A = this chain, B = another copy of it.
Amino acid sequence: MITLQLDRTSGGKPLYTQIYEQIRELIVQGIISPGERLPSKKKLSEHLKVSVKTIENAYFQLALEGYVQSKEKVGYFANDITGFYTEARSERPSYTNRFQEDHYRLDIRANKTPTDMFPLSVWARIAREVMADEGRSLLETVPFNGIPELRIAIAEYLYGFRGMKVSPDQIVIGSGTEYLYQRLARLLGEDCVFGMEDPGYTHTKRILANSKVPYRCIPTDWEGMRSDALTASDCTVAHVSPMHHFPLGTTMPVQRRVQLLTWVNQKPGRYLIEDDYNSEYLYQGNPVPTLYSLDVRQKVIYINTFSKTLAPSLRLAYMVLPDELMDRYVETTTFYSCTVASSLQHQLARFISEGHFERHIHRVRQHNLKQRELVADKLEASPLARSAQLLNSPSGTHFLLRLATDTPDQDIYQALLEKGILSTFVSHYCEQPTNRFDHLLIMNYSSIDAEGIDLLFNELQAVLQS
Contact = CB atoms under 8 A, between A and B. Distances in A.
A260 to B, nearest CB: 10
Contacts of A88: 296
Given A66-B254, A101-B143, A118-B136, A315 B296 contact: no
A337 B178 contact: yes
Contacts of A178: 336-337, 339
Interface stretch (A91-99, A271-279, A397-405, A426-434): A91-99
Contacts of A258: 81-85
A186 interface: yes
B57 A253 contact: no
B285 A57 contact: yes
Most buried by B among A64, A97, A168: A64
Contacts of A101: 143
Interface in A327-365: 330, 333-344
Given A312-B141, A344-B341, A254 B81 contact: yes
A252 interface: yes
Interface in A23-48: none
A308 to B, nearest CB: 11
A466 interface: no
A169 B96 contact: yes
Nearest to A262: B83
Contacts of A462: none
Contacts of A100: 143
Given A64-B285, A339-B176, A165 B89 contact: yes
Interface residues of A, number: 112
A168 B335 contact: no
A253 B118 CA distance: 54
Nearest to A186: B210
Interface stretch (A4-12, A123-131, A231-239): A123-131
A341 B314 contact: yes
A339 to B, nearest CB: 4
A343 B138 contact: no
A188 interface: no
A92 B115 CA distance: 36
Contacts of A333: 210
Interface string A147-162: 0100010010001000
A67 interface: yes
A312 B341 contact: no
Given A79-B254, A89-B296, A140-B312, 19 more contacts: A64-B285, A66-B257, A80-B255, A82-B258, A83-B259, A85-B296, A89-B165, A91-B165, A96-B167, A120-B136, A124-B128, A127-B131, A140-B311, A175-B340, A179-B179, A186-B211, A315-B338, A315-B339, A341-B344
**3 interchain residue pairs of minimum CB distance:** A66-B253, A313-B342, A93-B167
Interface of A: 17, 57, 60-61, 64-67, 79-85, 87-89, 91-101, 115-116, 118, 120, 124, 127-128, 131-132, 135-136, 138-145, 148, 152, 155, 159, 165-170, 175-176, 178-179, 182, 186, 203, 206-207, 210-212, 223, 251-259, 261-262, 284-286, 288-289, 293-296, 307, 311-316, 330, 333-344, 394
